[in-house]
Amino acid sequence: MRDGLSELPPIRDPQSGADHAGDGLKYDLQGIGALAVNPLGDRIINAFFREGEEFTDFRAFMRVLARFRPVEEGKSKETGYPEPMNSRLSKLQFAFQLYDQDSDGKISRAEMLQVLRLMVGIQVTDEQLACIADRTIQEADQDGDGAISFEEFATSVEKLNIEQRMSLRMLK
Amino acid sequence: MDYQHVQVPFEITLWIMLASLAKIAFHLYNKLPSVVPESCLLIFVGLIMGGIIYGLNDKSPPVMDSDIFFLYLLPPIVLDAGYFMPSRPFFENIGTILLYAVVGTIWNVFGIGFSLYGICQVKSFHLQDISLLHNLLFGSLIAAVDPVAVLSVFEEIHVNEKLHILVFGESLLNDAVSVVLYKLFRSFCEMSTIKTVDVFAGIGKFFVVGIGGVLVGLLFGMIAAFTTRFTKNIRVIEPLFVFLYSYLSYLTAEMFHLSGIVAIIACAMGMKRYVEANISLKSHTTIKYFLKMWSSVSDTLIFIFLGVSTIGDNHEWSWSYICFTIIFCLIWRALGVLVLTFFVNRLHVNTVTSKDQFIIAYGGLRGAICFSLVFLLPEFPRKKLFIAATTVVILFTVFVQGMTIRPLVDLLDVKRKRESAPTVGEQIHIRFLDHLLAGIEDISGHWGQYYWKDKLEYFNSKYLQKFLLREYDQPKSSIVLLYEKLERKHAIELVEAGQLIHEPSHTSLLVFVDSHRSTVVVKESDSMNPDVLENIQKILSRNLYRIRRTVPAYNRHNLPGESGTAEQAKEILILRHRSLR
């Protein structure tokens, strides 16, 4: 991780207003206005913090942002080295973790319903939402266990250009 | 019989009739359009017609008058292209497009001009009387990629959207550059001495032509939008305003020696958003069909005339010059694309792959614009050679490149346009990722292209919309009306396409204002029912929260603008508040 941290350009530190020097308060992140009206705002913020903690440090903060570095082309896959943090696999893992809140390695129907409910307006009734969730799981589920595992998730998004969708140019 | 009286309109109508009948004939035989692009067939028909006329009259058939081409045949095609240009991919790739159009064209012009001059120096080719300036002049008219040809070929091969917009955008915008260079070299030909100040004046002129064209277009676009604000009581002539103002912008730009194509594109793209909001649904349909019809007729006529004009005594043949022209056109285009893409890829996350580069280079078709420009050249001894060379290049690019590009696209497995709609799961994941990225951007304080987009949106909602949209005295209700109108339009389009079976309901994203509940009932038992699937798609497309900043995923049916975000934000905040308790 040494590489990633030193290479990242300095950014506006949203934690600069914190009382605890160098430590980030969850409270501060929640104070970002645009994030408050983002449907996934809470989940994104929680991704920066370890379970139950209220503070995060700069390293952990950067660890999350490092996932969004653009993929470097031409870097050969060297087996034996740890998977780079910004590879397609890591990006997918990060996205999967946001779906899978209880970290059991599967997106269950309940978790899918939760995410859908977050993203959809209150006009949609519960039974419609249930149908959509069922359909989503049905499309992705290959081993018929009624939940989406990480491999199934990766397959269902293989047509989407993940490397480019989940990259911020600024972090190059 | 009084033929003289009706001769001119009669002949024009006969030509158009011939063009349309030819089109019907091609599409009757299903397999033909997939192998041979329409443009080739039309040129072929033109060649036959030209041959017949030549045989009958024993003199050259009427050559396409450059004025007719530039004033009557070209504008409808460009207007159609500009009006239906998908603006999001266009503006996302605008840097690349401009780079290809401006720098690429200049590179091609000088490359071809100088290398042809080099060829002319070789004694055995007997070409030494062609001066450097003449070669550069020839280069300037042959280098530009032609939008008409590109459109007709690329429309049939369905490559992925980004590639399509790159080639197409380049072919439209390079008009500014080629116009300037062509006029510059032409005036240099007539001047006895050339001073350096003239060269700089030429460079300055390029900026004037390009930016001036954009300004003229935007001006007329805004006036058009403003006019449609008051057309509530005379819906019937609404489409006419769109056409009139666009055509005026083209003519005005041409009058001031600015780039007409750039002007008409700017006009169409600028006014589209406001005009669509102001005019009735039927007017919108009328505009769409009239534009398609006109551009189709123009397109057909252009290619037929190209064929007709090829036959005749206008040509002087010189194997060496012509062959080398073709070779240099190909080489310089390939080099140009390679070098420029190298720079582009260093700056962008969204890289242009090498397969894409090949198609961009190979798709550099020349067409009728070069042809008309060469006829406009002043009379000088070698003009017929230039005409011959231009004709051969155009025929080569249209026939050889046009016919082989489809098998090449298949062979190279270039990424194609998505034929199928994304699955429900994919839609959800896409939106999920968009929200995620928007949130991460907010946290990191990234100000990218979305920053400027936001600023433009702000300017738009604060000032422009008040001025140009009808019924803006109550902002809230106008947003509701806009939403309802667009959703109605979307639903009607779906019904017309035979996809929707249920009556479209008036659900909108604005929960607190519009209290109609969705009347769509989703059957729980059979999830694989296509009926149910459509309902799901409909629910999702209407109800998924809009993201504040969108990731490049272009969908023709996406509602434009970010209106309604206030209500959406309110809703989300209330939901979160409830869940936190």
Which whole-number Å values give the CA distances from B39 to A136, B172, B312, in the listed order?
A: 44, 18, 21
Query: Has residue B7 got a pLDDT over 90?
Result: no
Return the residue of A nearest to B536 by Cα. A132
Rounded distance between C-alpha atoms, residue B430 and residue B553, angstroms: 9
Give the SS3 label for residue A89. helix
Does A156 touch chain B if contact means CB atoms closer than 8 Å?
A: yes
CB B247 within 8 A of CB B452: no
Dist CA A162 CA B451 (whole Å): 22
Residue B16 token pair: 């158009």
* Rounded CA separation B564/B551 (Å): 19
Domain A82-167: top CATH class: mainly alpha
pLDDT exceeds 90 at position B219: yes
Give the model's pLDDT for residue A140.
81
Q: Specify the amino acid at residue B194.
A: I
Mark which residues 275-334 of B lie under 8 Å from A by CB: none
B437 to A12: CB separation less than 8 angstroms, yes or no: no
Q: Find the largest Cα–Cα distance for chain A.
A: 50
Cβ contact (<8 Å) for A156 and B429? yes
- Per-residue pLDDT tens digits for B504-557: 333 333 222 223 333 333 333 333 456 667 677 767 766 666 555 433 333 333
Place of tokens 């909001």: B277
B431 close to A139: Cβ distance less than 8 angstroms: no
pLDDT at B189: 78
B101 backbone φψ class: left, alpha, beta (φ>0; ψ -120 to 50): alpha
- The reported pLDDT for the residue numbered B267 is 93
Nearest to B509 among A36, A39, A121 (CB): A121
The pLDDT, as a whole number, for residue B502 is: 41
Chain A residues within 8 A of B575 when measuring between CB atoms: 118, 122
Contacts of B430 in chain A (CB under 8 A): 160, 165
| Category of B65 on φ-ψ map: left (φ > 0), alpha (ψ -120 to 50) or beta | beta
Give the C-alpha separation, B254 to B346, whole Å: 37
Give the residue with greater pLDDT, B561 vs B63. B63
B471 dihedral zone (left: phi>0; alpha: psi -120 to 50; beta): left
CB under 8 Å to B480, separation ≥6 — which residues? B508, B510, B513, B514
Question: Considering only alpha carbons, which residue of chain A is nearest residue B551?
Answer: A165
Mutate which: B347, B350, B432, vs A, most A CBs within 10 A: B432
Q: Is B349 within 8 Å of A134 when comparing Cβ atoms? A: no
Res. B232: pLDDT tops 50: yes
Rounded Cα–Cα distance for residues B353 and B521 (Å): 45
**A119/B contact by beta carbon, under 8 A:** yes
The percentage of chain B sitting over the pLDDT mark of 70, rounded to a whole number, equals 75
What CA–CA distance (Å, rounded) separates B360 from B335? 11
Tokens 């003289």 found at: B4
- Mean of pLDDT values over B259-270: 91
ipTM of the shown complex: 0.80
pLDDT at B221: 92
The answer to whether residues B152 and B43 touch, using CB atoms and an 8 Å cutoff, is no
Domains A1-68 and A82-167 alike in fold: yes
Calculate helix-pair angle for B161-190, B354-362, nearest 10 degrees: 40
Show the DSSP H helices in B445-529 as ranges. 449-459, 465-468, 475-496
Cα torsion B540, B545, B551, B552: sign:
positive
Token reading at B79: 């207007």
Name the band, by pLDDT with cuts 50, 70 and 90, for residue B215.
very high
Is A117 within 8 Å of A124 (Cβ atoms)?
no
The domain segmentation of chain B, as residue ranges, is 3-412, 425-484
Mean per-residue pLDDT, B139-157? 85
**Cβ contact, residue pair B444, A11, below 8 Å:** yes
Cα separation, A138 vs A147, in Å, equals 9
- Tell me which H or E stretch contains B343: helix B319-347
Neighboring chain A residues of B351 at a CB cutoff of 8 Å: 73
| pLDDT for B220 beyond 90 | yes
B9, exposed or middle or buried, with CB in 10 Å at 0-12, 13-18, 19+? exposed
| Confidence label for B497 from pLDDT (cuts 50, 70 and 90) | low
Spatial contact of B153 and B365, defined as CB atoms under 8 Å apart: yes
Condensed to tens digits (0 to 9), the pLDDT of residues B368-379 reads: 888 888 888 888
Please give the Cα distance from B273 to B461 (Å, whole number): 12
Q: Tell me how close the Cα of A82 comes to any Cα of chain B, in angstroms.
A: 24
Name the residue type at position B288: K
Cross-strand pairs, A24:
A56
pLDDT confidence band for B204 (50 / 70 / 90): confident
Q: Is B478's pLDDT higher than 60?
A: no
Which of the 8 DSSP states describes residue B4?
H
DSSP assignment letter at B259:
-
Q: Inter-chain contact A11–B544, Cβ cutoff 8 Å?
A: no
Cβ(B483)–Cβ(B509) below 8 Å: yes
Determine the distance in angstroms separating the CA of B23 from the nearest CA of chain A, rounded to an integer.
Answer: 37
DSSP letter assigned to residue B313: S
Q: Which of B110-124, B305-319, B320-334, B474-488 has the lowest mean pLDDT?
A: B474-488
B425 to A140: CB separation less than 8 angstroms, yes or no: yes
Residues of A in contact with B429 (CB under 8 A): 95, 156-157, 160
pLDDT at site B134: 86
Chain A: closest CA distance from residue B333 (Å): 26
B566 touching A (Cβ < 8 Å): no
To 5 degrees, how large is the angle CA B44–CA B50–CA B54? 150
Evaluate the CA torsion angle B135, B140, B143, B149 in order and state its sign. negative
Greater pLDDT, B154 or A7: B154
Q: How far is B279 from chain A (nearest CA, A)?
A: 29
**Segments making up each domain of chain A, as ranges:** 1-68, 82-167
d(CA B484, CA B487): 5
DSSP readout, B376-414?
TSPP-TTHHHHHHHHHHHHHIIIIIIHHHHHHHHHHHTP
**Stretch among A6-15, B86-95, B258-267, B438-447 having the lowest mean pLDDT:** A6-15
CA B339 to chain centre: 24
- The upper half-sphere exposure of residue B7, i.e. CA atoms within 13 Å in the direction of its Cβ, equals 4
Inform me whether the C-beta atom of residue A150 falls under 8 Å from chain B C-beta atoms: no
Cβ of B444 within 8 Å of Cβ of A127? The answer is: no
Q: Is the pLDDT assigned to residue B297 strictly greater than 90?
A: no
A158, closest residue in chain B (CA to CA) = B426
Spatial CB neighbours of B288, under 8 Å, sequence gap ≥ 6: B84
For residue range B375-400, what is the model confidence (pLDDT) as tens digits?
A: 888 887 788 888 888 888 988 888 88
Fold of domain A1-68: Recoverin; domain 1 (1.10.238)
pLDDT digits (tens, 9 = 90+) for B330-344: 999 999 999 998 888
The list of chain A residues with pLDDT below 50 reads 1-23, 76
First to last CA, chain A: 15
Predicted confidence (pLDDT) per residue in B35-61, tens digit:
788 888 888 888 888 888 888 776 666
Residue labelled with tokens 């896959």: A77
How far is B38 from B301, CA to CA, in rounded Å? 12
pLDDT in tens, B104-133: 999 999 999 899 888 888 777 777 777 888
- pLDDT surpassing 70 at residue B479: no
How far, in Å, CA of B23 to CA of B52, rounded?
19
Coil, strand, or helix at residue A56?
Answer: strand
Q: Do B436 and A40 touch (CB under 8 A)?
A: yes
Question: What kind of fold does domain B3-412 have according to CATH?
Answer: Na+/H+ antiporter like fold (1.20.1530)
In the predicted structure, residue B254 carries a pLDDT above the cut 70: yes
Distance from CA of A70 to the nearest CA of B (A): 7
* Residue A56 phi, psi dihedral angles, 5° rounding: -135, 155
| A24-33, A47-56, B77-86, B462-471: range with highest mean pLDDT | B77-86
Distance from the Cα of residue B83 to its chain's centroid: 8
Q: Tell me whether residue B113 is exposed, middle or buried, using C-beta atoms within 10 angstroms of its C-beta: 0 to 12, 13 to 18, 19 or more.
A: buried
Question: Based on C-alpha coordinates, what's the Rg of chain B?
Answer: 26
Per-residue confidence (pLDDT) for residue B503, from 0 to 100: 37
> What does DSSP say about strands A106-107 and A148-149: parallel, antiparallel, or unpaired?
antiparallel
Question: A157 and B350 in contact by Cβ < 8 A?
Answer: no
Torsion angles phi and psi, residue A57, rounded to 5:
-105, 175
CA distance B524 to chain A (A): 6
Record: contact A131-B536, CB cut-off 8 A: yes
B453: confidence class by pLDDT, cuts 50, 70, 90 = low
Please, which residues have CB within 8 angstroms of residue B492's CB and are 6 or more apart in sequence?
A: B281, B504
**Interface membership of A5 toward B (CB under 8 Å):** no
Place of tokens 């270039």: B414
Taking the CA of residue B491 and the nearest CA in chain A, the distance in Å comes to 18
Residue with token string 């989503």: A136
- Contacting residues of A for B435, CB less than 8 Å apart: 38-40, 119
pLDDT of residue B263: 93
